[in-house]
Amino acid sequence: MFNVYSTERWIFNDKKLEARWYRLLKALVRSSGNWWFSKGFFVALKGKMIRKAKLKDLKIIYSLLQEGVNSEKVLKRSINEIKKVINSFFVYEEENKVVGCCSLEIYSQKVAEIRSLVVSSEYRNRGIGSILVKKCLDEAKSKGIYQVLSITDKSELFERFGFKTEVEEKHAMFLNFNSKKQL
């Protein structure tokens, strides 16, 4: 006879299986609506997703930025500063863990800046940084922003999206008021 008790034990004694069931249920909830054939369902099933940041992500964003700060690639930002612009952040999640972030700060209808792009070191070179940049560009396009800028030494990554150092004979020019590296 079918033994509910032992079936339950079989399912929940296996931690990996339990995690898979949990992901499956989460994927169903996240992609509810047109869930079965939607790309969102399969992406969520793999435990990977890009989404708008929430307040609960503040600490993880802060520590990701710290990784960038340590390598002098990203400007230091306090928790309070991040909190003020949390709505401009996207985060990339894998296996329910935030492993990358990026923000699109909209200064005016004319210009927005891609800032604070960091992917945790173990997750680099897998396309996550590019996914985050693409998401910011999609957001800028959807809001009708004319120009997006990025101050970066990762020019190859940005060039793949069509970024140039000059547009229609106009150059971006900088004047540094302090000796710190311009980030």
Ligand X SMILES: CC(C)(COP(=O)(O)OP(=O)(O)OC[C@H]1O[C@@H](n2cnc3c(N)ncnc32)[C@H](O)[C@@H]1OP(=O)(O)O)[C@@H](O)C(=O)NCCC(=O)NCCS
Shortest Cβ 26–ligand X spacing (Å): 23
Residue 113 backbone dihedrals phi, psi, to 5 degrees: -120, 135
Judged by CB under 6 A, the residue of 50, 130, 134, 149 near ligand X is 130
Kindly state whether residue 168 participates in binding ligand X, applying the rule CB under 6 A: no
Stretch that binds ligand X, among 54-62, 119-127, 140-148, 161-169 (CB under 6 A): 119-127
Contact assessment for residue 18 and residue 11, using Cβ atoms and an 8 Å cutoff: yes
Query: Which residue, 53 or 119, has its beta carbon nearer to ligand X?
Result: 119
Q: For the chain, state the CA radius of gyration.
A: 20
Kindly state whether residue 122 participates in binding ligand X, applying the rule CB under 6 A: no
Query: CA angle, 181 as apex, 111 and 50 as ends, to 5°?
Result: 50
User: Tokens at residue 25, please?
Assistant: 């249920």
Stretch that binds ligand X, among 5-13, 37-45, 148-156, 170-178 (CB under 6 A): 148-156
Q: Cα dihedral sign for 133, 139, 141, 146?
A: negative
The 35-74 site mask, x for binding ligand X (CB under 6 A), equals ---------------------------------x--x-xx
Kindly state whether residue 165 participates in binding ligand X, applying the rule CB under 6 A: no
Query: Which residue, 6 or 71, has its beta carbon nearer to ligand X?
Result: 71
Contact assessment for residue 157 and residue 133, using Cβ atoms and an 8 Å cutoff: yes
Task: Name, in order, each residue with C-beta under 8 angstroms of 120's C-beta and a sequence gap of 6 or more.
Answer: 64, 67, 99, 100
Judged by CB under 6 A, the residue of 6, 13, 108, 125 near ligand X is 125
CA–CA gap between residue 103 and residue 129 (Å, rounded) = 12
Q: Where are the alpha helices (DSSP H) in 115-166?
A: 128-142, 155-159
Kindly state whether residue 154 participates in binding ligand X, applying the rule CB under 6 A: yes
Judged by CB under 6 A, the residue of 41, 129, 136, 137 near ligand X is 129
Which residues are near ligand X by CB under 6 A?
A: 68, 71, 73-74, 117-119, 124-130, 150, 152, 154, 156-157
